[in-house]
Amino acid sequence: MADLTQTQIAQPTPSRLRFKWNTIFDHLILIAGSLLMLMPLVYAFITASYDPVTIHREGLALTFGDELGSNFEKALFEKGGFTKTVDGMVMLKNSFILGIGFAVGKIIISMMAAYAIVYFRLRFATFAFWIIFTTLLLPLEVRILPSYEAIQRLGMANTYSGLIVPLIASATGTFFFRQFFRAVPEELVEAARIDGAGPVKFFIDILVPLSRTMIAAIFIIMFVFGWNQYLWPTLITTDESLFTLVRGIKQIVLTYSDAAIPEHGQALALAIVAMLPPVLIVIFFQSWFVKGLTESDK
């Protein structure tokens, strides 16, 4: 009898122990993964605190030097570092214009289109739907040359609208809102109509407030997408006053491979400025971002 009790008590221990080892193993893998993701940025940030000669001699560093402030200051406010006529602040401003302009433009245009497709009896609704739908098939990279040609002919090269509008041509946003509107309960429209609300009033007073979280989620995704555009801005902006930070990376790289002692510190500082706003937005609005990214695909 005593034996039996003993074994019953003793039994859970090995399994709990194994469970614990498993957990430690899980954590080790996750820590390794997190470090893999984090280390490049840590290296870059710390190395940005040195003067170019030291970096050129020593390579990437893991302890802070004393040039951090001055490197960032030069990268942001000094003209002619990597470009000839603009400083980092101008590029930062342009990046925000592209990111916000693209996100806002896309949200407005696609919400309107999705509203028309979902809520109206329209004879060519299916046709319009397919016209918009087809654009999902071809990313901008595939039709880059003709798009460039079209912008040239329209005289929109080196303008903000030339930078932003062609990127809006893909229909991802429209699909997203179409899915969302279709899930909105039917009774709402009926109730609104009984109360005498017209389509415009219904849209502005009911549908838009209802879509708030979805709008926020899609804004974050689109902002990051717009901010990170590279190929299109590289082609369409040859005027330095329109360079975005991500576009400016190309300039950094080109200067980098030419110079004898490249401005490593400034280059890294500018690269960090280029990644910081979208990274912060993704981190702070994480739950919206994840929701927008994963739910829009259903």
Please list every residue from 255 through 294 that binds other proteins, using CB under 8 A.
256-257, 264, 267-268, 271, 274-275, 278-279, 281-283, 286, 290, 293-294
Number of residues this chain uses to bind other proteins (CB under 8 A): 108
**What are the Cα distances from residue 12, in Å, to 1, 21, 41?**
18, 14, 44
Q: In whole angstroms, give the CA distance from residue 200 to residue 208.
A: 11
Q: Is 76 in the site for other proteins (CB under 8 A)?
A: no
Of residues 189, 178, 199, 202, the one with CA closest to residue 129: 178
Looking at 4-12, 63-71, 142-150, 205-213, which segment touches other proteins (CB under 8 A)? 142-150
Nearest-approach distance from CB 3 to other proteins, in angstroms: 25
Q: Is 121 in the site for other proteins (CB under 8 A)?
A: yes
Looking at 4-12, 66-74, 84-92, 188-196, which segment touches other proteins (CB under 8 A)? 188-196
Any idea which residue has 């927008």 for tokens?
292
- 147 touches 239 (CB < 8 A): no
The one-letter amino acid code at 177 reads F
Of residues 243, 248, 241, the one with CA closest to residue 269: 248
Sketch the per residue contact string, 6 through 45, with other proteins: x for CB under 8 A, - otherwise. Answer: ----------------xx--xx-xx--xx-xxx-xx-xx-
Helix (H, G, I), strand (E, B) or coil at 221: helix
Nearest-approach distance from CB 87 to other proteins, in angstroms: 19
Q: In whole angstroms, give the CA distance from residue 138 to residue 136.
A: 6
Q: In whole angstroms, give the CA distance from residue 288 to residue 116.
A: 26
Sketch the per residue contact string, 192 through 211, with other proteins: x for CB under 8 A, - otherwise. Answer: -x----xxx-x---------
Binding other proteins (rule: CB under 8 A), the pick from 138, 204, 259, 261 is: 138
In the 8-state DSSP scheme, what is residue 211? T
Binding other proteins (rule: CB under 8 A), the pick from 91, 107, 113, 269 is: 113
Restricting to residues 78-97, name those near other proteins by CB under 8 A. Answer: none
